Amino acid sequence: MSLSAKNPAPLRPLVPSTLLAATCLAGCVRDSAPEPLGPGRHSVYVTAADGTRLAADVWLPEGARGQVPTLLRLTRYWRATEYLGDGAAADREEQLAQLYVSQGLAVVAVDARGTGASFGVSTGPWNADERDDGAAVLDWIVDQPWSNGQVVGLGVSYEGNTAALLAASGHPAVKAVVTRFYDHDPFAQLAFPGGIPNVGFMGAWSEFTAALDRNDACALARHEGRTCPERQAEIAGPRPVDPDDLDAALAEHADNLDLAAALAGVTFKDDPLAAGGESFDDIAPYRWAAERAAVPTLLTASWMDGGTAAGALDAWASEDGPAIVEIGAYSHGGIFDSDPLRDPLPAADPAIEAQYVQALQFLAEQLGGAPAPARELRYVTLGDGTWRTTTTWPPSSVTPRLLALDAGGALHDGPADPGEDTLVVDAAATTGRENRWLAALHGTPVRYPDRAAAPGLLSWTTAPLDADMRVTGTPVVRLQLRSSAADAAVFVYLEDVDDHGVTRYVTEGQLRLLHRATGDAGPGRERVTGRSYRRADARDYAPGELVDLVIPLLPTSARFEAGHRLRLSLAGADADTFAPITPDGATITVLRGPAGSTLELPVDGAP
């Protein structure tokens, strides 16, 4: 999910106008009478099963000789913007719609109920009504005279989840989907990583979407970093179907769920967002793994974008259908590169234009009757920019290497001497406001500060490496730990230290002690720990209690150069991003010894 839905960087022409035609249209177009709407863009209402009117834009291609396939986009970020000037020329969604139509596709973009110019009430993200509306829109498309009965989905961020839910619908019209930077487990991989409230992102996102839903120009201008008069001079609001209806639709949005207030009452994955309503557990794509597995899927994520890579790998492990998973070093949305081990940052690889070429090619092949794609996972390695391909995860060339946390801040192979290290929690410790969780708000590059001497950290560092080391998979930290607090949040960071002492972030993990219980693997549980984050698995913590914690870091593939050192750092806060759980000045003590605290690295021995 992102605030960057409106007006990111302009999109250059991506593909030759013959791409879809050459691949698909000979088999996709079905002869029929001319469509009554005619080519171009049309704003219409689609009526949901309960009578709610959903605002939709329909784009039909010029010169199509018969019925055509449809690309469906379901959004809560306004399907289209009503500009007062020439702003539409720089609107990415406008450009993309024109691109898709130029490839011979019809495009249908729909405002989710309770958003944009649609009527109705939103009871929360990806709610049951919204999911049912997706099926109603599919039925409507199939019934249109210009439709050949084939539908594909393509979505980024929030819309990536709606594309995944199209695949989960079981509707026979859905032939393939492209899901980009979506949230497979919205609780553990976005809103509450490690069970800790991600208030930095969710607070801003909740305020932004609420402002969209009421068309509050001044609130939206603040989020966009401009003045209210500047925005009001450019944008009227969501594009209406009938201008006389817009005020009535916006008035119904006043009853939308107050997500910010709802999140304040959530601690567990199965807590309802509203009384009698759905929980994060109810809306997560993992609930429909079997249904989604039947639909060919291209899934794009990033090692540096929130928890999207973890979600992509969870989907890979739990769904055995025809899927291509691609994990890059992108910013949220794929426009920028965010490799922390390359300086200066290179351009995104592949560039955003090439990413859309790949997406369109994938959809065109499936619409044209190509065999379902073979399962394949493509990923880039941070630090060298090399793309690799595997059919197993982690790759078969990966073996675990166990490093012990030892006295004097040492991190090494073999057992450690008995002892303990204590962190005095600094509640102001932070990874900044351009980290993997907050950069997604605007789709900007992910950047971390050099925290070599930052306060509020307790660190252990290896000796310089004798040779390059490539870590590919999920590093796991096991801590024997006690805290002086009644509850605590533990943050751990894997970092690269170069021969000049410059420290660069690679990946992280976090855990609230309340959620420390582990269990068996299954849907909605962490793959490494079986941790559920559900209320029944909560474990209260008594100050001073010694506990064994297992904290999987977010997965990565990263090359650590010869001569560099690896550093593991521990903190009790990330002030700009996560809610304060551990009191300032509280202590977190880590035990060392033969059976003490360790870092397990998945080391890839392949060339």
Q: Exposed, middle or buried: residue 337 (CB in 10 Å: 0-12, 13-18, 19+)?
A: buried
Active site (annotated) includes residue 332: yes
Q: How far apart are the first and last CA of the chain?
A: 36
- Give the DSSP letter of residue 116: T
Inter-helix orientation angle 217-224/199-214, to 10°: 140
Q: Which member of 157, 169, 206, 532 is catalytic?
A: 157
**CA nearest 58: which of 179, 239, 215?**
239
What are the tokens at 458? 């307790």
| Residue-wise DSSP of 268-282 | STTSBSSTT--BHHH
Active site (annotated) includes residue 442: no
Q: Label residues 117-145 b or e (16+ Cβ within 10 Å = b).
A: bbbbbbbbbbbebbbebbbbbbebbbebe
Taking the C-alpha atoms of residue 468 and residue 476, their distance in angstroms, rounded to an integer, is 20
Q: Where are the beta strands (DSSP E) in 61-194?
A: 68-75, 81-83, 106-111, 147-156, 174-180
Specify whether the CB–CB gap between 210 and 77 falls below 8 A: no
Q: Which member of 111, 185, 270, 305 is catalytic?
A: 305
| Residue-wise DSSP of 340-361 | TTSSSPPPPSS-HHHHHHHHHH
Inter-helix orientation angle 246-253/199-214, to 10°: 150
Active site (annotated) includes residue 318: no
Specify whether the CB–CB gap between 261 and 203 falls below 8 A: no
Taking the C-alpha atoms of residue 87 and residue 407, their distance in angstroms, rounded to an integer, is 60
Inter-helix orientation angle 128-143/158-168, to 10°: 70
C-alpha dihedral (318, 319, 323, 328), degrees to nearest 10? -20
Classified as helix, coil or strand, 220 is helix
Taking the C-alpha atoms of residue 220 and residue 228, their distance in angstroms, rounded to an integer, is 8
> Which residue's structure tokens are 């249109």?
144
- Give the DSSP letter of residue 141: H
What residues act catalytically?
A: 157, 305, 332
